[in-house]
Amino acid sequence: MRMWAASWRRFSWFRAGFGVVLVGLCAGVAADPSAQVSRLTSRFDGYIGGTVESANGKEPGVWVIAETTDLPTKLIKIVVTDDQGRFVLPQMPRASYNVWVRGYGLADSKPVKASVGTTNLALKAVVARDAREAAQVYPANYWYSLLEVPAKEQFPGTGPTGNGIAPAFANQAQFVDQLKQGCQLCHQLGNQITREVGHMDLAKLGLKDSFAAWDHRLQTGQRGGEMSSMATRMGRKAVVGMYARWTDAIAGGAVPEAPPRPKGVERNIVVTMWDWGNATSYMHDEITTAKAKPTVNANGPVYAVDAAHGKVIVVDPLENRASEIPIPTRDDPKAMRSRFPQKQPVPSLHWGDQIVHAGVADPHNPMMDTKGRLWTTSTVRQGAPLPFCTDGSLNKYAAYFPLPGGSGRHASFYDPRTAKWELIYTCFGTHHLQFGTDPNETVYFSGGGQTIPWVDSKVYDETKDEVKAQGWCPTVLDTNGDGKITKPWNEPVGGGRAQGEGGGGGQLGEFDLKRDTRVNYGSYGVIVSPTDQSIWTSGTSFPGRLVRLERGNNPPETCKSEFYTIPTPELSFGPRGIDVDRNGVIWAAISGSGGFVSFDRRKCKGPLNGPGIINGDHCKEGWAIYPLTAGPNMKGTPYNADFHYYNWVDQFNTSGLGENLPIANGSGSDSLLVLKPQTKEWLVLRVPYPMGFYTRGLDGRIDDPKAGWKGRGLWANYGTNFLWHTEGGKGTTSKMVKFQVRPDPLAR
C-alpha cells in the first residue's frame, strides 16, 4: 500500500512550500467514475488495540494517540482508554504508526511503532514527577484561569492617572467580556506560547521585566497594531500589568487545578485529523455538508477557507489527501489591497519582518447548499459601490434604504462538478452566511451594517443577475405599535439600550415613540428559523441582544424587526455565535461568561410591538441561561475561563448524541462542549494533541444513516490566526478534525 501511495504521489502531487498541493482535485473526484471507485477501494477498516499501564497500574481515561506520515497527508487518530486501561484505534488506513499516551497526571510516553492488525499493544504510561510537569498538557483555559482581572471594586475605571482601567468600563463583567472577545478573537490565551515570555530574548530586545515584555509583545507582528490598540482602549496600564503579573506568577511556580479525565460518554470519542494548508494558513471556518440536509456530500471532500491566502483548502478523508482551490476576484489581485496590515509596528517574534498574511479575496465563512456547492463570503471587487446600491431607479431596495458606504466583502460560490466560481457583488458587507429552508434556498448574511441582507440563490441560478438576486432590509422596530413599519423612522437607538446602559443610545425622552425606530445594530452571527423563515442575528456588544426580522410578502416595505436583550446584568455578555433548533428556539454562546442562553419567542406573554419594546426587555420569560460548569472560573470572578468563538446546534443527530443538542466551541479549552438542556449536563469532547485546538465553526455530516457511529460525525478545524502558537511551533499546519461517538470505548 505504501508503494501504491508513493506512485500516486509521483503521478499527481507536487511538493509546494509547506504542504502537498493539488489544485482542482474536488472537481475530478466528483466527475470521474473511476476516481469514485478509487476512493471507495482506498477505505480501510483496520484497527490497533491494546492496553495502557503505568507504575500506578491500569490507566483509565487517558488518550492513546497514533500518527503517521505514510499517507499523502499526515493522519492522527486519538481514542480514550476504558476503565481497565484498554483501547481500540478503529478505522485505520494501512500504514506504520507512532503510538503513544497522553493523559492528566502523566508525562507523555515514548512513541512505539505499530501497524494495523496489532491487537495486544502494551503501552507504558509515565507518571508525572510533580504537579507542574502534569500541568504542561492542561488545556489553555486552565492556565488562563490564573489570570487575575481587576476586582469589582476597581470599577468604573479611573483612567491612566488612576487605576489604569479605561473609564468606559463600568463594571467587571463588561471588562471581562471585552477582555475575552477583544483578546481571543485571533488565538487562544493560556497556551504555552502566551503564558510564558521565556522564548523572548529580553536582554537582546532591551526589555527589563515582564511588564516591558508584554508591552512589546502586544505590538509585534501583523496584528500588533490591533492588539496594542485594544490594550489602549481598555486601559494599557491595567491590561499590560495584569498579563505581566500572570506571567510572573506562572514563572514563579503557579499551577492550575487539574482537569478531570474523560468519563462516561467522553471515553467513547474517536478523533481523526488530517493536516492541510501550510504553516501560515489562517483557516477561519470549515464546512462538510448542507445544514438542513446533512447527507449532502456524503463521504465527500471537506472544505475550509484560508483567509490569509485567499484560498479554499480541501481534504479528501477517504483518500487522505489535501489540496487547495484559489478564490478569484473581478479586480486584478495585484492591484487590490489586503485586509491584513502590510506593515508591522514591531517585527514578529516568529517571522521577523516577513509579511505572512497578504490575501485579497479574504474569505471568511463557507456554507454548502443542497446541490453541494460551496458558498462563501469573499471580496469580489474594491472601490466605490456600484450604482444599483444607491440609485432607487435601478433597485427597489436602494430606493427604500440606499447603501452608499460600499462593502469590503461580498459573496461567491464554487461548484465542484464544474470546478468554476461564481462571483456576486453585494451592496452590503458580508461576514457569516446561512441558508433558509425556503424553496429558493435564500442565503442570508451577517455583517450588513444596519441591514439584514440576502441573496436568492434560485433567482441567481435562473438569471445570473446579481441585482435581481439580492436584497436587504434595515432593522426597524414597530415602536408605534400599528403592526407595520412606516417612514419616517426615528434615528438609530444605537448599539446599547435606549436608556444608555452599556454604552448605547440616548434617553427614552429623545424618541417620539409614535414613530417607528431604526436600530443601529451591527450583526455578527445569522441564522434562519426552520419554523417560520424568520431571520435572527446576534451582535457582540455588551449587554447582549438578538434581532429578529420578518421579510413579509413584499420586502423591503413589509420587513419588520424585533429586538431582545439578554436579562440579568451579571450575565448580559455579548453573544458570539447563534443557531436554532428544529423547534425555532434560538441558542447563543456567551463568550464572556461561558455557556449558553436560549430564547424561545413562543413563551412571550406581552406585546411584541409598541413603546414598551424599545429596550428589548419585554420578553424576559423567553430566556433560559445555561452557565458553563465544565472547567475553572477566572480567578476572583464568577465567569468561566473558557472562550466560545461560535456555536452550533446538532439538529439531526449527526454526532450520535441526540437531536437538537447545542454545541459550543471550546476555543479556549481544546474542545467541543455539548450541552444536554434537560439536565444541564456538559460533555467535553477534547482534542488533546496537538495542543492549541482553537476552533471557530463546526458542523456535522451523515455519510451513511445505516452505518451507525461509523456513518456520522462532527467536523471542526484548527482555526487560529497564528498556527505557530499550536503545539509543535513554527512550521505546524492546521488540521481538519472529525469527532465520532462510539457505543463504547472498544467498538471497532
CA distance 568 to 496: 15
Q: Is the pLDDT of residue 23 over 80?
A: no
Of 30-39, 471-480, 601-610, 720-729, the one with minimum mean pLDDT is: 30-39
Query: Would you call the peptide bond into 488 cis, given omega within 30 degrees of 0 as the criterion?
Result: yes
The predicted structure's pLDDT at residue 51: 98
Of 89-103, 487-501, 564-578, the one with minimum mean pLDDT is: 487-501
Q: Is the pLDDT of residue 9 over 90?
A: no
The percentage of the chain sitting over the pLDDT mark of 70, rounded to a whole number, equals 91
Q: Is the pLDDT of residue 503 over 60?
A: no
What 3-state class would DSSP assign to 718?
Answer: coil
CA–centroid distance for 720 within its chain: 9
CB 688 within 8 A of CB 670: yes
Q: Is the pLDDT of residue 595 over 50?
A: yes
Domain assignments of the chain as residue spans, ordered by start: 2-135, 141-251, 264-346+359-741
Whole-angstrom CA distances from 737 to 186, 222, 263, 332, 577 are 19, 27, 21, 35, 20
SS3 sequence, 546-598? EEEEECCCCCCCCCEEEEEECCCHHHCCCECCCEECCCCCEEEEECCCCEEEE
The predicted structure's pLDDT at residue 199: 85
Mind listing the pLDDT tens digit for each residue in 407-460? 999 999 999 999 999 999 999 999 999 999 999 999 999 998 889 999 999 999
E strands present in 255-379: 269-276, 283-287, 302-306, 311-316, 321-326, 366-368, 374-376
**Architecture of the 2-135 domain:** Sandwich (2.60)
CA distance 471 to 586: 24
* Mean pLDDT for all residues in the chain: 90
The predicted structure's pLDDT at residue 572: 64
Which backbone phi and psi does 100 adopt, to 5 degrees? -155, 175
Q: Which of 637, 641, 698, 632 is nearest to 665 (CA)?
A: 698
The predicted structure's pLDDT at residue 406: 87
pLDDT confidence of 502, banded at 50, 70, 90? very low
CA distance 492 to 591: 26
CA distance 495 to 511: 16
The percentage of the chain sitting over the pLDDT mark of 90, rounded to a whole number, equals 84
Angle between helical axes of 224-234 and 236-251 (0-180°, round to 10): 110
Q: How many CA atoms lie within 13 A of 664 on its CB side?
A: 35
Instruction: Find residue 453's DSSP bridge partners.
Output: 472
Residue type for position 459: V
Of 309-313, 427-431, 501-505, 670-674, the one with minimum mean pLDDT is: 501-505
Q: Identify the residue whose cell numbers are 444605537.
A: 494
Please give the average per-residue pLDDT across 122-134, as a whole number: 98
Please give the average per-residue pLDDT across 712-724, as a whole number: 96
Dmax (CA) for the chain in angstroms is 80
CB 307 within 8 A of CB 362: yes
Please give the average per-residue pLDDT across 197-222, as a whole number: 93
Which pTM was predicted? 0.92
Q: Is the pLDDT of residue 19 over 60?
A: no
For the domain bounded by 264-346+359-741, which CATH number is listed?
A: 2.130.10.10
pLDDT confidence of 497, banded at 50, 70, 90? very low
CA distance 379 to 509: 42
Local structure of residue 220 (DSSP, 8 states): B
CA distance 578 to 664: 10
Q: Is the pLDDT of residue 237 over 80?
A: yes
Mind listing the pLDDT tens digit for each residue in 655-666? 999 999 999 999
The predicted structure's pLDDT at residue 7: 32
